[in-house]
Amino acid sequence: MSFRALLASRSSEGEVTTKLETLQDDALVDGNVDVDIAWSNLNYKDAIALAGFNIIQSFPLVPGIDFAGTVTASQDPHFKPGDSVVATGWNLSQTHNGGFAQRARVPGDWLINLPDAIDTRNAMAIGTAGLTAMLSVLALEQAGLTPARGEVLVTGATGGVGSVAIALLAALGYRVVASSGKPAEADYLRKLGAAEVIAREKLSQPGPPVAAERWAGAIDSVGGQTLANVLAQTSYRGAVTTCGFVGGRELPATVLPFILRGVTLAGIDSVQAPHGLREQAWKRLASDLDLNLLASTLSEIPLDAVPDTARQMLGGSRKGRTLVNVNR
């Protein structure tokens, strides 16, 4: 059987290009579960992969770090034909063909059976970004955060992680403050549940190692000076999660927030997160996330629009979540 896929190749000069191709089933690589993909999505990691940033480690390869679809064949006892499943992270788009295709073959360990409340389209509306937002909320809860402790900050607010984090935290009863570089999107952020929107620049300039205590918790996907300032402004025994680096990989901070205020900094990795934690996160997404609200963050593109849309994402000009309809 043949299927359509976006195939990434690398030139001898190291430039990564993609082309829509028709592949045969023999292009499916190692795995014990076959899936007809219904939807994929676009994450920041996809954008940097297509820009040639050393994410894709073997060429040619189908990029796309996420997919959701229906099992068509399985040698894994946990899955049977007809099951709705989701895969995010692992080696997808690194060494294993990923989600920008109509078919995939993967190890069953990489798949999660979707909760009844989440269909394949909503699974990809959530995707790696939404899973990461949920893992961040779980880490804050594990560090003892409750709505009664005070305000929670979300940076990179209009992005995929930020948008879902705001919707989740607001639904759980937190007063959410959104930090964004897009003043025109303040209404969008308020509709998601932000009680207040602050300018990105307020956090991106060098500041003191400890400052007035404001945040009981924070979900940061920006990194760099922003994360250093967030730590400096976090209240006694508050907690901050870090998952991204759109604003820089460095962390120009001191130990003072940790040793004077007992602040917790929790690292979030969605790529190799253990299976049990993923199941817990998808269950919580099914119960805590308002899927109607999530719909307001969505845009939808066909497979051949992925490269151009990824470039816009790298420029920071997009908002919310981008679904990829692999059958268009």
Ligand X SMILES: NC(=O)c1ccc[n+]([C@@H]2O[C@H](COP(=O)([O-])OP(=O)(O)OC[C@H]3O[C@@H](n4cnc5c(N)ncnc54)[C@H](OP(=O)(O)O)[C@@H]3O)[C@@H](O)[C@H]2O)c1
Residues that bind ligand X (CB under 6 A): 43-45, 128-129, 132, 156-162, 180-182, 200, 221-222, 243-247, 268-271, 313, 316
**Which of 71, 152 has the CB closer to ligand X?**
152
Residue nearer to ligand X on the CB measure, 139 or 222: 222
Residue 60 preceded by cis peptide, ω within 30: yes
State the nearest-atom distance from the C-beta of 87 to ligand X, in Å.
14
- Closer Cβ to ligand X, 120 or 132, answer by number: 132
Output 244 or 307, the one with its CB closest to ligand X.
244
Question: Would you say 138 or 256 has its CB closer to ligand X?
Answer: 138
Interhelix angle for 160-171 vs 120-142, to 10°?
70
Q: Cβ of residue 257: shortest distance to ligand X, in angstroms?
A: 20
Buried b (16+ CB within 10 A) or exposed e, 243-273: bbbbbeeeeebeeebeeebebbbbebebeeb
Q: How many CA atoms lie within 13 A of 73 on its CB side?
A: 8
Residue with the CB atom nearest ligand X in the bound state: 159
Q: Closest separation between CB of residue 23 and ligand X, Å?
A: 27
Question: Which residue number, 179 or 235, has a Cβ lying nearer to ligand X?
Answer: 179
Give the shortest CB-223-to-ligand X separation in angstroms: 7
Helix 275-288 with 120-142: angle, nearest 10 deg: 100
CB 280, min distance to ligand X, A: 16
80: number of Cβ within 10 Å: 12
**Min. distance of Cβ 240 from ligand X in angstroms?**
14
Distance, CA of 177 to CA of 185 (rounded, Å)? 14
User: Taking the complex as a whole, how short is the minimal distance between the CB of residue 159 and ligand X, in angstroms?
Assistant: 2
- Nearest CB to ligand X, comparing residues 91 and 128: 128
